[in-house]
Amino acid sequence: MRSTEERLAQLHIRADRLARVRRTKRFAFTCAGVGLSCAVFLAALIFAVYSAEPASADLTVSPALTASILVRGDALGCVLISIAAFSLGVVFTVFCYRLKRRMTEKDRKDD
């Protein structure tokens, strides 16, 4: 039979394990939320550039070919989307790295 101290020790171990699992889930949801918001922002930017009027009014392209920004001659839109995608990727990577480092430091403090 276990003593009261052993039961309390086991209870604390289990509570710590559950807290660690909760933090891990929160970390995953936070990273997914940031990634989703970056993707939505990038999609909105692509839609805004794509729906803009072409630079030259005499450019006629069949509707099947309008999926490309470069067909309309809007190289600036392509560059803008590339820069935005790269910067969003950097922001997302730095965010996840800092969040993971913070979670690791918390786990070390708990141990």
In a domain, 101, yes or no: yes
| pLDDT at position 14 | 92
- How many separate domains does the chain show? 1
The rounded mean pLDDT for the chain is 75
* 97 found inside a domain: yes
Q: Is residue 57 part of a domain?
A: no
Residue 44 lies in a domain: yes
- For the whole prediction, is pTM greater than 0.75? no
Give the largest CA-CA distance in the chain.
Answer: 89
Q: Report yes or no on 89 lying in a domain.
A: yes
How many whole angstroms from its chain centre is CA 44? 15
Can you give the residue range of the structural domain that contains 9? 4-52+62-110
Q: In which residue are the tokens 């990038």 written?
A: 42
pLDDT tens readout for residues 37-89: 877 887 887 777 667 655 555 555 555 555 555 555 566 767 777 787 788 88
